[in-house]
Amino acid sequence: MDTLSARAESFLFSEGGTLTLRKLAQLLEVQEPQLQEALTSLSARLEGTGLALIKTDAEVSLAVAKETSPAIQKAYERELGHEIGDAGLEVLAIVLYRGPSTRAQIDYIRGVNTSSSIRNLLARGLLERTGNPEDGREYLYRPTVELLSHLGVRDRTELPNHTEIVAELTAFEAQPTETPSDTHV
């Protein structure tokens, strides 16, 4: 049963959100009684760690434990207390004009690692993360409805200079990348 609870934990972690009990049972290829037993074992194993198992009648998720929640909240408040900054605005502009984008695509356009900017924008509810249907190992980032509402647009095509900026982004991404050997004379 410990192997089953470990597998359940892995699926919950990799999902990064809530799973229905039905979906988790399907993923684990078990019946509901076995799933309930595995979740009980997992919940007990997580006692005293920084994580907790949150379960309703229909769903289950991993979450920050009550004991460590104040530290996490304080760190988020510290991070979110600052302005989004130029880096955050650039990431938002890329996702707004380019559309759903992977972190690698955003990094390529900006030319730097954007993981902290993306994390900040996710925490603020300006971006949302969804699975990439073309590659299950990565996520797509897209603007939230709240962001579009705040900007006063119904969809991305209503953004200022949408057609021109999308064309420029497309042309930029189509350019061949330089390799180190290209830079030698």
pTM score: 0.55
**pLDDT value of position 94:** 95
pLDDT: which is higher, 146 or 177: 146
Among 140, 120, 121, which Cα is nearest to 130's?
A: 140
**pLDDT value of position 7:** 95
pLDDT at residue 182 tops 60: no
Kindly indicate the confidence band of residue 100, based on its pLDDT and cuts at 50, 70 and 90.
very high
Question: Given 1.10.10.10, 2.30.30.20, 3.40.140.10, 3.10.20.90, which CATH number is that of 82-176?
Answer: 1.10.10.10
pLDDT at residue 22 tops 90: yes
Question: What does the chain look like in DSSP terms, one character per residue?
Answer: -HHHHHHHHHHHHHHTS-EEHHHHHHHHT--HHHHHHHHHHHHHHHTTSSEEEEE-SSEEEEEE-TTTHHHHHHHHHHHHTS--HHHHHHHHHHHHHH-SB-HHHHHHHHTS--HHHHHHHHHTTSEEEEE-TT-TTSEEEEE-HHHHHHHT-SSGGGSTTHHHHHHHHHHHHHSPPPPGGGG--
Residues 41-99: tens digit of each pLDDT: 999 999 999 888 989 888 898 888 888 888 877 776 666 566 788 999 999 999 999 99
Locate CATH 1.10.10.10 in the chain: 2-64, 82-176
CATH class of 2-64: mainly alpha
